[in-house]
């Protein structure tokens, strides 16, 4: 099922305008693994056993996984390139699209089952999972490599599989769990309950935590995951699972690693050199992040793309440095519009090395917010206040005082809204996991339905797999 979707997805070149530069690594992967797509490898392509003959070739395969997730598709976007951030900002209450006719299905939370961007969210994530599974199935061929090296590669693959499964289940709900490249075992897999998906994510991340190096490797500053990236994502998943002691403990491990991680000033958070960064996607391909290209006003015309909604603007308190630093303003047609401005580089002028921006996937501030929420849920209001006030102090805001559990949770939810806005779907997922989506979105969106908290399973996936069931609320 998934293999058919992947092939159809890749071969539709006219629709997606796939660049050969990005297509070749994927063809290499697909041709190099007969189990993946059930076709023989072309004579001029390496087969899987040849790919995994030495550490250099495996390192290339791992780099290819990172590159696929962030640099695949040179037109519009893909999930980990920008869509998770940009499209979820529309489905939540953060932005609307200026022209009103590019992403109305997401802005109005009425996504057709045949929507191509929705299919990308599904199929691209499963493709990355297949790539990770291929690494996991073949890494032990490197019998001459050190055990530490094999552990690192295994940990990276498990982390990426966990990351993809996290976004799949938080966008689509119950989804198939794919742990092999054997199509005969995966073609007709039904959905697994979200609880089981979360359990698989936890298992992968706990294993990755044990396998990964503490130090960062590679040429990018923090563009390959380490032990603390696995722990950071694990703390988030525990929070989503309402496992508050575990979420607090995991976040504390990351926060306590102060030789690596420290809160940065607001203007430095999204730089490559940020001490707040736990894991970043390297943006050297275009000298800019893809979300910057989407969010910043169009070059030449100055026309805004994604406009920040009034309710987000009004959520910022007076003198909040995040509003002045992370929200931009542009005059267009005689009116001022506000737009997300966390990333400021478009790549038109290559930035100096010291000021380069990378796409920040995991960062320290979220760990403080996770721990604050986990502590509040356990009635540790003093500890929650201490964590929250560290974030507020950096934003130039006064401390919050001791309050009730309900009040503290409301403070934390507000702080997450203004800290993590337009960033990797945090606001959209927060509204859903706290059961606030209908309360917040129904007044803003006349077409809102409670079932819209889940995206539809792509019709193409259902057509290929009789055991897949459509999510409630979609035809």
Supply the pLDDT for residue 88.
98
Supply the pLDDT for residue 74.
53
Please check the confidence at residue 432 and state whether its pLDDT lies above 60: yes
Retrieve residue 367's tokens. 């760990």
pLDDT tens digits, residue range 375-408?
999 999 999 999 999 999 999 999 999 889 999 9
Domains of the chain: 52-442 (1.25.40.390)
Supply the pLDDT for residue 34.
34
In sequence order, the 6+-apart residues with CB closer than 8 A to the CB of 382 are: 402
Higher pLDDT: 8 or 108? It is: 108
Specify the range with the lowest mean pLDDT, choosing from 62-71, 93-102, 185-194, 303-312.
Answer: 93-102
User: Which residue is listed with tokens 């299905």?
Assistant: 105
Question: CB of 176 within 8 A of CB of 469?
Answer: no
Retrieve residue 78's tokens. 């893909």
Q: Which residues of 365-374 are buried (b: 16+ CB within 10 A; e: fewer)?
A: bbbbbbbbbb
Q: How confident is the model at residue 241 (pLDDT cuts 50, 70, 90)?
A: very high
Please check the confidence at residue 197 and state whether its pLDDT lies above 70: yes
Helix/strand number for the chain, H first, E second = 23, 6
Q: What is the mean pLDDT of residues 152-160?
A: 97
Please check the confidence at residue 41 and state whether its pLDDT lies above 70: no
Long-range Cβ contact pairs of 249-258 (< 8 A, separation 24 or more):
251/367, 251/368, 251/370, 251/371, 251/374, 252/371, 253/228, 254/228, 254/278, 254/364, 254/367, 255/364, 255/367, 255/368, 255/371, 257/228
Q: What is the mean pLDDT of residues 344-372?
A: 92
Supply the pLDDT for residue 444.
96
Q: What is the mean pLDDT of residues 272-299?
A: 93
Supply the pLDDT for residue 15.
31
Please check the confidence at residue 18 and state whether its pLDDT lies above 50: no
pLDDT tens digits, residue range 56-93?
888 888 999 999 999 876 556 789 999 999 999 999 99
Q: How confident is the model at residue 300 (pLDDT cuts 50, 70, 90)?
A: confident
């Amino acid at each position: 099922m998934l293999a058919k979707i992947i092939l159809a997805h890749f071969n539709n070149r006219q629709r997606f305008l796939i660049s050969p530069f990005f297509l070749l690594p994927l063809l290499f992967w697909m041709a190099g693994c007969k189990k993946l797509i059930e076709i023989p490898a072309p004579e001029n392509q390496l087969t899987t056993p040849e790919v995994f003959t030495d550490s250099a070739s495996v390192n290339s395969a791992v780099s290819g996984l990172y590159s696929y997730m962030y640099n695949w598709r040179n037109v519009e976007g893909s999930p980990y390139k920008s869509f998770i951030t940009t499209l979820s900002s529309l489905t939540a209450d953060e932005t609307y699209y200026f022209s009103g006719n590019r992403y109305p299905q997401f802005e109005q939370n009425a996504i057709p089952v045949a929507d191509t961007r929705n299919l990308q969210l599904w199929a691209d994530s499963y493709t990355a999972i297949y790539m990770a599974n291929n690494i996991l199935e073949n890494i032990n061929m490197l019998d001459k490599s050190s055990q530490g090296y094999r552990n690192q590669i295994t940990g990276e693959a498990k982390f990426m599989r966990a990351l993809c499964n996290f976004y799949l289940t938080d966008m689509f709900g119950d989804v198939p769990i794919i742990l092999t490249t054997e199509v005969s075992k995966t073609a007709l897999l039904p959905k697994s309950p979200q609880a089981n998906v979360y359990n698989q994510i936890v298992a992968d991340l706990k294993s990755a935590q044990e396998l990964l190096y503490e130090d960062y490797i590679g040429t990018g500053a923090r563009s390959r995951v380490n032990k603390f990236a696995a722990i950071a994502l694990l703390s988030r998943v525990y929070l989503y699972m309402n496992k508050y002691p575990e979420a607090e403990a995991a976040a504390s491990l990351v926060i306590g690693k102060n030789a690596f991680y420290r809160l940065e000033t607001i203007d430095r958070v999204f730089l490559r050199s940020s001490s707040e960064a736990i894991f970043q996607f390297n943006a050297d391909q275009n000298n800019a992040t893809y979300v910057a290209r989407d969010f910043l006003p169009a070059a030449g015309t100055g026309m805004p793309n994604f406009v920040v909604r009034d309710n987000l603007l009004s959520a910022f308190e007076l003198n909040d440095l995040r509003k002045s630093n992370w929200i931009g303003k542009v005059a267009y047609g005689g009116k001022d519009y506000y737009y997300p401005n966390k990333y400021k580089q478009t790549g038109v002028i290559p930035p100096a090395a010291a000021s380069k921006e990378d796409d920040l996937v995991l960062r320290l501030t979220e760990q403080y917010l996770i721990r604050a929420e986990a502590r509040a849920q356990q009635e540790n209001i003093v500890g929650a206040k201490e964590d929250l006030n560290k974030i507020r102090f950096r934003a130039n805001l006064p401390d919050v005082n001791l309050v009730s559990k309900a009040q503290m949770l409301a403070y934390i939810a507000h702080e997450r809204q203004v800290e993590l806005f337009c960033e990797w779907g945090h606001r959209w997922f927060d509204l859903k996991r706290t059961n606030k989506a209908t309360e917040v979105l129904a007044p803003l969106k006349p077409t809102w339905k409670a079932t819209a908290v889940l995206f539809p399973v792509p019709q193409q996936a259902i057509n290929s797999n009789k055991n897949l069931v459509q999510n409630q609320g979609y035809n």
